[in-house]
Amino acid sequence: MAEFTSLLAGVETTLVSTGMQIQRLDNQELFLLIKGAMSPLDSTKSSHRPNGRLGRYESIRSQLTTASIEGESDDYLRVGGLLYTFISLKEPPDSTYPGMLRELLSLDFPIIVNTEIVIPDQAKVISQYKWSQRKMMAAQRDINGGFRVNVEAQVAERQLIQVLEDVISSSLKTCQVSLVIGVRTSTPIRTGLEREEAERIIADRRQRVLHTITRMNGARGMVETLAQKRLFIGSLPCMAEENKREIDMLTLNAADLMPIETPWQGTPYSPGILFETRQRKLIPFSPFDSSLNDANMLIMSSSGGGKTFMAQMFLLMLGRLNPLISIIERGDSYAALTELMGGRVIDVDLEGIETLNPWDLPPGQVTPSKDKIAFLKNLTSHMIGEGPTTDSGLLDTVLSDAITRVYRRVESRPTNPVPTFSDLRDELANWRSGDRLQGGISERSIGEAQLAGLKLKDWTGEKGTYSRLFDRHTTVRTDSNWLFFNIEGLSNDATEIDHFPAIRRRLGEFQAPFATDLYGAMELVIAEAVAKRLAGVRELLGQQDPSSRDP
């Protein structure tokens, strides 16, 4: 008993370390599990009665056996009005990978996958492999000891040597694996007509399982005929035993055949969108679910594949959650949808009247955060570019210091205490290091600052590229939950698209206070781009959350 408890504790520790949620079943839960496996259509969840009915003793076995084996043929086993068929793995796949059984487990009918692993004494196994390797070597010699061609023996010898090297030089072990798949019908049989229909259904499902196994890197399945009753009993919970279908395999490959990776169930606690799977099932999904690392999504398809149509369908479904939706696209594909939902369509143009100042702070905030400073620094670096003699580290330090100084200097301004890029340009042109640096470093920092200020003149001021779009105080109203930014007015210069994340960042700061739904502040950004603009879109999506990963 002590050894069993120790093994059980080790298994639980290993499973918990993988992130799986496990719990040990008590007597009642184990009773219901076995009863549900024997009678899957029994809706009565009667628990175990220790004293039986009316005080009479009734064993656990008699309480569990609510179904009986009614018949057996070469093609199926009839239990409780349902037809069962079993398929075992006859030949293993050429190679395995994690999630190999995912397609098998996602079939749209009831299926049972039993994987039994037995780890024998490794010393005996290694000795047996060495004996087999010597036997294969002998098969390549003739009666006089000369070499002869025997392709089968050569292949077997190489495989044995590879297995021995893996077992001896690493923590891998050899094991015996048996994979048995059980398939059943979904409705009980009551009439002869229903029996014929059930036979047709079970034959079709059997063939689908065989085809699925064949797609597993060359694996082959075998339909069981004589051993159906034994395999049915062995498939019940707590009834595992050697079934004479074992295949020698390394533990690394056996782990890939464990049926622990079930189809994704979506986000059932926050159903915002309904996805239809390949098995014609609907699963709920919400990009704002707390179980997700971030809310980034990337829809990829060829031109004309329906990306915009699918995105609009998702937006309509998410509309009932009242999120903040910002759409950035070159064209007017989303204009009708935005107007239908009572949103605003904003035409973004370098010569337009709409201005969005990236220097604005969220309401109630008077000093910039570290994230805000980093964003402005990166945007400024995009504008000024990087020359062959630029010291990137020194320039980053200069820009961070200059941005902080600009905020401090303009906050005492009586009107419009919000800085612009023109203020940063003036600060860089007259920048002096506040730290006690060595003479050479101080001169280099002043030179980098003045050069950066000179480059910003092409982007700011009255004639700058971003004079109307970014270098004025904000005129864009973002008081609507649906905003569509049409960037058709921007030129085809890739640099302007790469700098457009400033609009995305500005939206996040202005729109957040308007979210009042039960999920809290939610913001959704839709950006469309072709392949050559993907770099700019990646940066745009990265602004979703400072800690988010690349999409």
Q: What is the pLDDT of residues 132-162, one digit of tens each?
A: 888 888 888 888 878 888 888 888 888 888 8
Stretch 483-499: mean pLDDT: 65
Instruction: For residues 505 and 528, give the distance between their C-alpha atoms in angstroms, rounded to a whole number.
Output: 17
Instruction: For residues 159 and 151, give the distance between their C-alpha atoms in angstroms, rounded to a whole number.
Output: 12
User: For residue 54, what pLDDT band results from cuts at 50, 70 and 90?
Assistant: low
Q: What is the pLDDT of residue 347?
A: 82
Residue 205 confidence (pLDDT) above 70: yes
Q: Which position has the higher pLDDT, 36 or 296?
A: 36
User: For residue 29, what pLDDT band results from cuts at 50, 70 and 90?
Assistant: confident
Gyration radius from the chain CA atoms: 34
Residue 63: in which H helix or E strand, if any? helix 60-64
Phi and psi angles of residue 63, each rounded to the nearest 5 degrees, phi first: -75, -30
Report the range out of 15-19, 396-400, 512-516, 528-532 with the highest average pLDDT: 396-400
3-state secondary structure of 148: coil
Q: What is the pLDDT of residue 144?
A: 82
Torsion over CA: 31, 32, 33, 37 (sign): positive
If we measure between CA atoms, which residue out of 77, 78, 67 comes closest to residue 225?
77
Q: What is the pLDDT of residue 162?
A: 87
Stretch 441-462: mean pLDDT: 80
Q: What is the pLDDT of residue 515?
A: 35
Phi and psi angles of residue 411, each rounded to the nearest 5 degrees, phi first: -70, -20
Stretch 186-209: mean pLDDT: 93
**Residue 328 identity (one-letter amino acid):** I
Q: ∠ CA 357-520-499 to the nearest 5 degrees?
A: 25
Report strand pairing: 324-329 vs 523-527.
parallel
User: For residue 530, what pLDDT band results from cuts at 50, 70 and 90?
Assistant: very low
Instruction: For residues 498 and 502, give the distance between their C-alpha atoms in angstroms, rounded to a whole number.
Output: 10
Residue 275: in which H helix or E strand, if any? strand 273-276
Phi and psi angles of residue 390, each rounded to the nearest 5 degrees, phi first: -75, 135
User: For residue 521, what pLDDT band results from cuts at 50, 70 and 90?
Assistant: very low
Q: What is the pLDDT of residue 199?
A: 94
Q: What is the pLDDT of residue 23?
A: 80
Q: What is the pLDDT of residue 52?
A: 58
**Residue 344 identity (one-letter amino acid):** R
Report the range out of 26-35, 172-181, 346-355, 378-387 with the highest average pLDDT: 172-181
Q: What is the pLDDT of residue 375?
A: 84
Q: What is the pLDDT of residue 82?
A: 92
Stretch 285-300: mean pLDDT: 80
Q: Maximum CA pair distance of the chain?
A: 106
What percentage of residues in the chain have a pLDDT greater than 70? 85
CA–chain centroid gap for 389, Å, is: 42
Dihedral of CA atoms 365, 370, 396, 405 in degrees, nearest 10, equals 30
Stretch 514-526: mean pLDDT: 46
Residue 383 confidence (pLDDT) above 60: yes
Helices 151-169 and 122-138, interaxial angle, to 10°?
A: 150
Which whole-number Å values give the CA distances from 302 to 137, 404, 492, in the listed order?
A: 54, 45, 21
End-to-end CA separation in angstroms for the chain: 51
Contact status, residue 247 vs residue 176, Cβ threshold 8 Å: yes
Instruction: For residues 125 and 175, give the distance between their C-alpha atoms in angstroms, rounded to a whole number.
Output: 9
Q: ∠ CA 139-140-141 to the nearest 5 degrees?
A: 95
Contact status, residue 428 vs residue 440, Cβ threshold 8 Å: no
Residue 344: in which H helix or E strand, if any? strand 344-347
Q: What is the pLDDT of residue 177?
A: 92
Instruction: For residues 466 and 88, give the distance between their C-alpha atoms in angstroms, rounded to a whole number.
Output: 68
Q: Which position has the higher pLDDT, 205 or 290?
A: 205
User: For residue 527, what pLDDT band results from cuts at 50, 70 and 90?
Assistant: low
User: For residue 480, what pLDDT band results from cuts at 50, 70 and 90?
Assistant: confident
**Residue 535 identity (one-letter amino acid):** A
3-state secondary structure of 285: strand
Residue 212 confidence (pLDDT) above 60: yes
Q: What is the pLDDT of residue 179?
A: 93
Report the range out of 12-26, 192-206, 348-362, 468-482 with the highest average pLDDT: 192-206
Residue range 102-136, pLDDT digits in tens: 888 888 889 999 999 888 888 888 898 889 888 88
Instruction: For residues 32 and 194, give the distance between their C-alpha atoms in angstroms, rounded to a whole number.
Output: 29
| String of DSSP letters for 371-416 | HHHHHHHHHHHHHH---TT--HHHHHHHHHHHHHHHHHHHTT-SS-
Q: What is the pLDDT of residue 541?
A: 38
Report strand pairing: 482-486 vs 344-347.
parallel
Q: What is the pLDDT of residue 328?
A: 80
Contact status, residue 65 vs residue 98, Cβ threshold 8 Å: no
Stretch 9-27: mean pLDDT: 79
Q: ∠ CA 32-33-39 to the nearest 5 degrees?
A: 80
User: For residue 469, what pLDDT band results from cuts at 50, 70 and 90?
Assistant: confident
How does DSSP classify residue 263? P
Q: What is the pLDDT of residue 200?
A: 95
Q: Which position has the higher pLDDT, 302 or 435?
A: 302
Stretch 220-249: mean pLDDT: 88
Instruction: For residues 178 and 118, give the distance between their C-alpha atoms in angstroms, rounded to a whole number.
Output: 9
Average pLDDT taken over every residue of the chain: 79
Q: Lowest mean pLDDT of 207-221, 329-343, 517-531, name the range.
A: 517-531
Q: Extract the runs of DSSP E, i.e. beta strands, from 119-260.
A: 174-184, 220-223, 247-250
Residue 13 confidence (pLDDT) above 80: yes
Burial grade of 418 (CB within 10 A; 0-12, 13-18, 19 or more)? middle
Stretch 73-85: mean pLDDT: 91
Contact status, residue 28 vs residue 48, Cβ threshold 8 Å: yes
Contact status, residue 388 vs residue 412, Cβ threshold 8 Å: no
Burial grade of 394 (CB within 10 A; 0-12, 13-18, 19 or more)? middle
**Residue 126 identity (one-letter amino acid):** I
